[in-house]
Amino acid sequence: MPTWTIAAVQMDCRLGDSAGNLSVMRSKLREAAGRGARLIAFPECILSGYCFSSAAEAASVAEPLPGPASEALATDCRELGTFAIFGLLERAGDRLFNSAALVGPNGLIGRYRKAHLPCIGVDRCTAAGDLPFEVHDLGGLRVGMLICYDCGFPEASRVLTLAGADLIVLPTNWPPEAASTARLLVPARALENRIFFAAVDRIGTERGFRFIGQSRICDVTGDFLAISDDDRETILYAEIDPERARQKRIVNIPGEYELNRVADRRPELYGALTTGRTRSE
């Protein structure tokens, strides 16, 4: 099975300047494609910015899917033979979602709406995601999407794994308080599911909030294939082999030391996960 070169674009954006942000994204897409990347990922809300103070302000820069930005990037993907994932504020009727879009040479392939919403930034103004966790086959690479805070909920990554994901892409906007998520949870999600995991964060400061960068791409072992240790603009690249993510059975000593993090589950014991709220909430 052919390997894929993927890229994570760690960049800043300007609040409310969708046209300007899109122009920079298109330039970065070309740069990454020129380095051989076939899937290029951008941060959460990179099209619009994140720190909106009201739903009305956020809605003023929201776009439908498909829409102008997804069509523009699809045009570039068609020319370059690539795929792209980017974060935006999605307008759907009178509702507003923090979304990620997957586009390719033939246009919009899929969308994901952030399921878990913290009380911060634009997430105070958006509706909770109402779409299922889906995996999209790009022709040899099966990709699932999550957004930022979703990484803190292992169930989301596990559902995508069970749906066949080789790679999970996480557009994110991490403030300094989320440094432990970058350091600990991203490799944990990769290791516990034996999948590739790419977290792409933004940089810069917006209305007093600083974003830390620290994007990373993890191997199926949880080890880092590419990592940013700071908040400077960069593009991370990694070569991934989808077949490794599909080989869940790990044989260290045949018949004596074997693991399978999917087949060894005990879902009949996990009923509490779906019974609703607990007394600790």
Catalytic residues: 44, 114, 148
β-partners of residue 251 are 258
Q: Strand pairing of 83-92 and 39-41?
A: parallel
Question: CB count, 10 Å around CB of 17?
Answer: 15
What is the SS3 assignment for 114? coil
Distance from C-alpha of 60 to C-alpha of 55, rounded to nearest angstrom: 9
Phi–psi pair at 203, nearest 5 degrees: -130, 180
Phi–psi pair at 273, nearest 5 degrees: -65, -20
Nearest Cα to Cα of residue 72 among 41, 108, 97: 108
Q: Is 46:61 a contact under the CB 8 Å cutoff?
A: no
Q: Angle at the Cα of 264 (from 243 to 156), degrees rounded to 5?
A: 70
What is the SS3 assignment for 34? helix
β-partners of residue 170 are 199
Nearest Cα to Cα of residue 59 among 34, 89, 21: 89
